[in-house]
């Protein structure tokens, strides 16, 4: 008898997906918030680290241009530091500019070599895959759009979807609180 009643509900599969999304929503948002907090913490630690600032000041024209034939470095992006380790070779094809930077730091500013001590969140942040974090955020937004579409469609269903609409209204209030707090954290 109950199965026959379920068959009368329009878009039952879609409604079940929406309810499943609602059940998982709070834990998904909590996981996203935790990851974002770790990344924000690391960014703040980098921002206030005097040792990191000292290293950035030491990365100058002489250090980066040592032994290169391709011209002078005027500015760089942080992600290009990885290229200094892997790709770039000096004229002797033995040392990278990163080798020279480390040698200079060890000789002139050894106190900067343990800059990672200032970055307590580095280990936890290194385990977060930003691409997966972005994908998860995208999936949550996509799920919220599905919820809205089903809610809009359910308003035309009549009495058979009243309970779903009441649950959706409470869910909408919960979502507003979560979304507002996450949006403020990202700002």
Task: Answer whether residue 187 is part of any domain.
Answer: yes
Q: Which pLDDT does position 147 carry in this prediction?
A: 82
Q: Please, which pLDDT band fits residue 62 given cuts at 50, 70 and 90? A: very low
Q: What is the mean pLDDT of residues 78-90?
A: 62
Is residue 105 pLDDT above 70, yes or no? yes
* Nearest CA-CA partner of 175 in 143, 138, 136: 143
Q: What is the mean pLDDT of residues 150-176?
A: 69
8 A C-beta contact, residue 90 and residue 96 = yes
Instruction: Give 90's contacts (C-beta < 8 A, 6+ positions apart).
Output: 66, 67, 68, 96, 97, 100
Tell me the whole-structure pTM to 2 decimals.
0.68
Cα separation, 72 vs 60, in Å, equals: 10
Task: Answer whether residue 44 is part of any domain.
Answer: no
Cα separation, 50 vs 108, in Å, equals: 16
Domain count, the chain: 2
Same domain assignment for residues 108 and 60: yes
Q: Please, which pLDDT band fits residue 42 given cuts at 50, 70 and 90? A: very high
Q: Which pLDDT does position 173 carry in this prediction?
A: 53
Cα separation, 183 vs 162, in Å, equals: 31
Same domain assignment for residues 106 and 136: no
Task: Answer whether residue 68 is part of any domain.
Answer: yes
Query: What is the extent of the structural domain holding 85?
Result: 50-118
């Amino acid at each position: 008898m109950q199965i026959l009643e379920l068959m009368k509900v329009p878009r039952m599969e879609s409604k079940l997906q929406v309810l499943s999304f609602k059940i998982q929503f709070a834990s998904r948002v909590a996981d996203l918030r935790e990851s974002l907090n770790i990344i924000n913490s690391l960014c703040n630690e980098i921002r206030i680290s005097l040792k990191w600032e000292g290293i950035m000041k030491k990365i100058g024209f002489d250090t980066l241009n040592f032994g290169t034939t391709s011209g002078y470095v005027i500015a760089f992006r942080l992600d290009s530091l990885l290229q200094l380790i892997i790709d770039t070779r000096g004229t002797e094809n033995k040392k990278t500019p990163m080798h020279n930077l480390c040698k200079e730091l060890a000789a002139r500013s050894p106190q900067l070599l343990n800059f990672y001590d200032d970055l307590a969140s580095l280990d936890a942040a290194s385990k977060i895959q930003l691409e997966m974090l972005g994908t998860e955020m995208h999936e949550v937004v996509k799920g919220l759009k599905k919820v809205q579409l089903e809610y809009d469609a359910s308003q035309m269903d009549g009495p058979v979807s009243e309970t779903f609409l009441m649950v959706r209204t409470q869910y909408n209030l919960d979502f507003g609180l979560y979304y507002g707090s996450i949006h403020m954290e990202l700002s």
